[in-house]
Amino acid sequence: MYKIRKISYPFALGGQKSALEMPLSRKEAKVLLTTLSPHSAPEDKINLIEIEEHPLYIGKSIDVIFEEGMIIL
């Protein structure tokens, strides 16, 4: 998992150990997955989740606009 974090963190805006917020285009997401795949063990899971175009914000969250949406790893 060290290599996964080392490869992923430069793309991240924030997050936690197990979930990172990353503004990626679809092309960048594919490149990231291709780069991560050789370093993941068979039991590891890498999930990319695209946030809706108009997400619901709760609490003090603010609307952050990115050209290609936001993907969380």
Q: Provide the 10 A C-beta neighbour count for residue 7.
A: 13
The two three-digit tokens of residue 33, written as one number = 């997955």
The count of domains in the chain is 1
In a domain, 6, yes or no: no
Instruction: Please give the pLDDT value at position 73.
Output: 47
Instruction: Please give the pLDDT value at position 45.
Output: 82
In a domain, 9, yes or no: no
Instruction: Please give the pLDDT value at position 4.
Output: 83
Instruction: Please give the pLDDT value at position 35.
Output: 92
Alpha helices (runs of H) in the chain, residue ranges in sequence order: 2-8, 26-36
In a domain, 5, yes or no: no
Query: pLDDT by residue for the chain (73 residues), tens digit each?
Result: 788 888 888 888 877 777 888 888 888 888 998 999 898 888 888 888 777 666 666 776 566 565 555 555 4
Residue in the block written with tokens 């679809």: 26
In a domain, 10, yes or no: no
Instruction: Please give the pLDDT value at position 23.
Output: 83
In a domain, 35, yes or no: yes
